[in-house]
Amino acid sequence: MRKIFKVPVKNDVEKEIGNVRGSLANIKAREGVIGYILRNQKSASVDIEDPSKMIDYAILSSTVLDSGEYMKTAFELGKVDHILVEGEEVKVLLLTIGDHRISVFMNKKADHNAIYRDLRLK
C-alpha cells in the first residue's frame, strides 16, 4: 500500500493571514472605514487615514485586546471570537487569528458585521 503525503506550502494560519491581508485592503476602501492594524509579536501593518492618530489607535487596540484577555480569564468565557467597542462616533472590531491581532477602526454607521464576515474567510 502506497501512502501519499500532502506537504503544506504554508501552515493554515499563515495562509489565512495572507488572505486576511488581501481582505483588509478591500475593507479599507469601504465607506466609513478609518483604517486597520494587523500585528503579531514581530511586526505590524498599519493603514490609518489620519497618521497623526496612529499612536492613539494603536494604544486603543492594545488596551482593548489586553482587557479582553483579562475578562476572558477572569470570567471563564472560553474562546472569545471577536470584540466590538463602540464610542459616540467611532467603533473598533478586534479579533485574533493565530498570533496575529487585527483591529479595524470605522465610523459608527459602518457595517461591522460585514467586515467581520470578510475577515473570517474559513
User: Cα torsion at 96, 98, 102, 108 (round to 10°)?
Assistant: -30
- Residue 7, pLDDT score: 45
pTM for this one?
Answer: 0.82
- Residue 118, pLDDT score: 87
CB of 121 closer than 8 Å to CB of 23:
yes
Domains of the chain plus CATH, in order, are 12-119 (3.30.450.30)
Strands 83-86 and 90-97: antiparallel
Q: Tell me the CA distances in angstroms from 67 to 39, 48, 86, 113, one per residue in order.
A: 17, 23, 15, 22
Query: How does pLDDT run along the chain (122 residues), one tens digit per residue?
Result: 444 444 444 566 566 667 778 889 889 999 999 999 999 888 888 999 998 999 999 999 999 989 988 999 999 998 888 999 999 999 999 998 878 899 999 999 999 999 999 887 55
